[in-house]
Every structure is written in structure tokens, then in C-alpha cells.
Amino acid sequence: KAHKANAWLVNTGWNGGKYGVGKRISLKYSRAILDAIHDGSLEKAEFTKYPVFDLEIPKHINGVPDEVVDPRKSWLASESEFTGALTSLGKLFQQNFQKYASEADQSILEAGPKV
């Protein structure tokens, strides 16, 4: 906050489903995402809030199909399976973080997944 720096969490890994179902995000799209960060257009984009992890996801990035930007749109299985996988991932994060929880302050604890 002191230096007014932006931080971006960029998924350039798996998209479309769990391992073995989905596929890696192409290098072309990964580069377009990074270009949008560097040229400032991503900072001006419209975002939607995602449940569980409370992340803001851009509605559109130039050069990247919207179904790649929004994991719910690229998920190859049903909506309920996507929601189940999202919830399951949130629970895994919570379980894993338990070993560090005693060392974290309240703001860190409150920033974790909500399942």
C-alpha cells in the first residue's frame, strides 16, 4: 500500500477442468494477459467477484477469449461440478493453512477462502 503497487494473480496454467480433462492455457493467451497488465488496460477493465476465494476476475481481456478468462465459462463439466471443485479447492486451502494459522494475524485469517 505504501508504494501503491498493483499485484496480479495470473493463471497461466490449467483451464477447462481438472487435470486430465482441461488443458494448459496457451502461451499466446498468457502473453496477452501479461501485455494487458503492462499496458495498463487490465487495470481499467471491468471485473466480477468470484465466490470462495473472493477474487476479482476481469470480464474481458483483449486477445483472450472470455471463456479462457473466466474459469466457469471454460469448465467442460457441469456447473454443479465446477462449484463442487471450487468448494473442494477452498477446503484444501483452509486445511493446509491450519499449520500456519497460529502465526497469522486476523486480517490474514479473514482473507482466506470462504466455504
> Lowest-confidence range among 10-14, 63-67, 70-74?
10-14
Tens digit of each residue's pLDDT (9 = 90 or more) over 41-64: 999 999 999 899 999 999 999 999
> Cell digits for 5?
503497487
pLDDT above 90 (res 4): no
Q: How far apart are CA 73 and CA 57, in angstroms?
A: 12
Q: How far apart are CA 59 and CA 66, in angstroms?
A: 7
**Residue-level length of the chain:** 115
Q: How far apart are CA 44 and CA 59, in angstroms?
A: 11
* Cα distances (Å, whole numbers) of residue 47 to 36, 44, 61, 64: 14, 9, 10, 15
Provide the whole-model pTM.
0.83
